[in-house]
Structure 1
Amino acid sequence: MKFISSIQNPEVRQIEHWNRKSRNRRRDGVFVLEGLRELQLALSGGYQPEKLYFCPEILDESVLNDILGLEDCSRASLSPDVYGHLAYRGKTEGVIALMRTGDHRLQNLIWKRKNPLILVAEAPEKPGNIGALLRTADAAGLDAVLIADLKGDLYNPNIIRSSVGCLFTVPVAIGDSAEILDFLKTSDFQVLGAALGASIPYHKADYTRATAIVVGTEATGLTSVWKEGADQLIEIPMGGVIDSMNVSVAAAILIFEGLRQRGFPG
């Protein structure tokens, strides 16, 4: 097994490029995953590593074999200095994996129940917000998250970190707004669009049928594609001076109202 002790090693430099450049990740169809917990979640979500890099001083190799079942995966060991150089976070249990990206086409979605509840996020800009939306979706047990007009890269390290691995636990599909709206209509989803000055308060909508909750950006809200295409526009009444809240907070309010109407929990 190869031992890497220099940050000038070509593999180390390549990992750095993939970590920093979304263009390189998309071109090569790979992403860099850091942390034992995140790797476990990715494996449970059907992802497989191309290669493992671990630091024996932090993580015993037996964990890769006995706990993760990756005894046949190509691997290299890293010195503490090289691992510290590559690690995006301070303490991530000593393992970095090179992973193949998933397939996020709409047609790959499979509904496990006849009345799915899903979230659509239009043009989310901040990786932290995307990660928080994915965490909320996982906590709520949503059937899917659809991202319309994604501005960046789904495998941005900040998205993976802020989602605490929930990128791998929730079905995620990507498309442009028109494509996703057409998909929802064809699939007989009710589309509820969150917008200021909307026609009804969010808690008066009916979420019990197949429903897509659509949220826009904090700065401009939903575009006309969604405002005009929604079956119903809903709003969260605001009691303060400002007229908006963080998109992940707003989405959580709407999602859990949908779950309340469906008898969640219990």
Structure 2
Amino acid sequence: MMDPVIAIDSPRNPRVQAALRLRDRDTRLDLGQTLVDGGREALRALRAGVVVETAFACRSLITGDEAVEAVRTLERDAVPIIDVSERVHDRLAFGNRRDGLVLVVRTTSAALDALEPGPNPLILVTEDVEKPGNLGAILRTADAAGCAAVIAVGGTDLFNPNVIRASVGTVFSMPVAAATADETMAWLADHAIRPIAARGDASTTYTAADLSGPIALVLGSEADGLSDAWLAPGIDGVSIPMAGSADSLNVSVAAAVLAFEARRQRDVARG
């Protein structure tokens, strides 16, 4: 039997305040929890088997199919749902979308050693890509392109609530890891995965490069590019030709261009 629904109308309620503290990165890391805002994101998290600590629902706002399905899933799994007012929901939620559902969930493992790349893997590696919108879009691209994993190098917060939203919840279904550059290089070498660095000065264009084998596409931030660790002579580089006045692409766009070219080459190789 489900616990009775608890109505909360004050943003000062202790449960609401505890959830709001998860907007702070250090608190998220200490507790191993994060916020999932939105019906689509919540449904993906639930389908990925994420453990829900607290579920806040504003019934008057839950009209979208995915939010309705997420609530049904919570009820089927006997997860207590805390009924909140619109003002409490709006305090908990991120951005302008009002799907009526906010979850507190346990974050999944981001350990590099937990990744299992499988046969002929395509990996995306990001270095110091700290903007949540960019990282979330890269995760969404990786999912769509059939990548085996995304590895975040540097100070990236994989479970920032805005990353979760920008990834439309794919951060929970996509294998992810956080590691240093040295750790990532060692892991790639151990699994016979060739790193390929996205570099504006590379003489080989991405369409001329062989991206059909086990590779890791490595992308740096737009501001600083890749660190020297990825510019060593033994690491191949590829460039994306630019026909206009701009000298670079948004990193999430570059990731999509490279990942789908790799996907195309693999499809051709399979016949």
Instruction: Confirm or deny a common fold (TM above 0.5).
Output: yes
Gaps in structure 2 of 5+ consecutive residues: none
Do residues 126 (structure 1) and 134 (structure 2) align? no
Selected match of 2:115 from 109, 114, 137: 109
Maintained 8 Å contact 1:6/1:82: yes
Selected match of 1:181 from 160, 163, 185: 185
Maintained 8 Å contact 2:43/2:70: no
Equivalence for 2:35: 32
Q: CA deviation at 1:56?
A: 2.6
1:227-242 matched pairs, under 5 angstroms:
227-228=231-232, 231-242=235-246
Equivalence for 2:50: 47
Q: CA deviation at 1:152?
A: 4.0
Selected match of 1:143 from 131, 148, 153: 148
Do residues 171 (structure 1) and 199 (structure 2) align? no
Do residues 58 (structure 1) and 61 (structure 2) align? yes
Selected match of 1:81 from 76, 83, 87: 87
Maintained 8 Å contact 1:202/1:254: yes
User: In terms of mean alpha carbon deviation, does 250-259 or 237-246 score higher?
Assistant: 237-246
With normalisation by structure 2, the TM-score equals 0.89
Kindly provide the amino acid, as one letter, of the partner of residue 250 in structure 1: A
Q: Specify the SS of the correspondent of 1:31.
A: strand
Change (3 A) 1:95 1:65: closer
Do residues 251 (structure 1) and 259 (structure 2) align? no
Kindly provide the amino acid, as one letter, of the partner of residue 257 in structure 1: E
Equivalence for 2:102: 96
With normalisation by structure 1, the TM-score equals 0.91
Selected match of 2:16 from 12, 17, 37: 12
Q: Specify the SS of the correspondent of 1:146.
A: strand
Maintained 8 Å contact 2:90/2:98: no
Identical aligned residues as a percent: 38
User: In terms of mean alpha carbon deviation, does 220-229 or 175-184 score higher?
Assistant: 220-229
Change (3 A) 1:38 1:78: same
Change (3 A) 1:71 1:238: closer
Kindly provide the amino acid, as one letter, of the partner of residue 156 in structure 1: N
Equivalence for 1:213: 217
User: In terms of mean alpha carbon deviation, does 187-196 or 232-241 score higher?
Assistant: 232-241
Selected match of 1:72 from 51, 74, 78: 78
Q: CA deviation at 1:136?
A: 1.0
Equivalence for 1:201: 205
Q: What does the per-residue CA deviation read over 1:70-108, in whole Å, with 9 as the maximum and x for residues that have no partner?
A: 442233211222222222233343111110011011111
CA distance in 2, matches of 1:63, 1:254: 34
Kindly provide the amino acid, as one letter, of the partner of residue 135 in structure 1: R
CA distance in 2, matches of 1:126, 1:232: 26
Q: CA deviation at 1:62?
A: 8.3
Kindly provide the amino acid, as one letter, of the partner of residue 254 in structure 1: L
Q: CA deviation at 1:64?
A: 5.7
Maintained 8 Å contact 2:137/2:166: yes
Kindly provide the amino acid, as one letter, of the partner of residue 133 in structure 1: I
The number of residue pairs the alignment matches comes to 263
